[in-house]
Amino acid sequence: MRIPLFALLFVAACPVAFGQTPYAGLQDRAIKALSSERIAGLEAGRGLGYAMAAELNGYPGPMHVLELAEALELSDEQVAQTSALFEAMRERAAALGRELVAAEAALDRAFAGRDITPARLGELVAASARIEGELRRVHLEAHLDQAELLEQAQTAEYMRLRGHADPDDDRSHRRHRH
């Protein structure tokens, strides 16, 4: 059975006609592009997926290493070094997160105030992108540094415990000092 084109167009337009768009309700956000949960995460220095390239490729994250310290049989020195690494990363990430929230707020205000120009848009987007790139680097570097603190067996166990282990791939064992 063929459905007439006008019927398909009507069905496709219905959600928009009734105000059901993917952005419905988001206009009430303080910063339109950021949920309150994301803002809280940025301001707290949480990972928010910034280090996924490292995590899923065999570079453990310090927060999760600390959570798994007993199962990984970390030495007292490894716990101390990992704690210091995590705190330094979290402090730097939180500072950058606050900067990113402020940059996104400035972009939002420029649009809300209708005083955005192409030049100003370029400046605001570049500032936000620079901060977000630095934030991602901070999280990824923490994973690089963490990998150096673990033995091969600890990294392999971390990957297994986190559900990232690929039994046919030993790459997670090759990157570390031992």
pLDDT digits over 8-41, tens only? Answer: 455 555 555 555 688 887 888 889 999 999 999 9
Residue 10 vs residue 108, higher pLDDT: 108
Q: Over the stretch 42-94, which tens digit does the pLDDT of each residue have?
A: 999 999 999 999 999 999 999 999 999 999 999 999 999 999 999 999 999 99
Residue 18 lies in a domain: no
In a domain, 10, yes or no: no
| Residue 56: inside a domain | yes
Examine residue 12 and state whether it is found in any structural domain, yes or no: no
Three-class SS of residue 112? helix
C-alpha span between 100 and 129 (Å, rounded): 9
Q: Which of 130, 157, 135, 115 is nearest to 47 (CA)?
A: 135
Averaged confidence pLDDT in the chain:
89
Element (H, E) at 1: none
Q: Is position 121 within any domain?
A: yes
Question: Which domain, by its residues, includes 58?
Answer: 33-174
pLDDT, greater one: 143 or 7: 143
The reported pLDDT for the residue numbered 64 is: 98
Within-domain flag for 24: no
Quote the pTM value. Answer: 0.81
Count up the domains in the chain and report the number. 1
Instruction: Determine, yes or no, domain membership for 8.
Output: no
Q: CA dist 82 to 19, 26, 55, 57, 139, Å?
A: 49, 39, 16, 19, 14
- Examine residue 20 and state whether it is found in any structural domain, yes or no: no
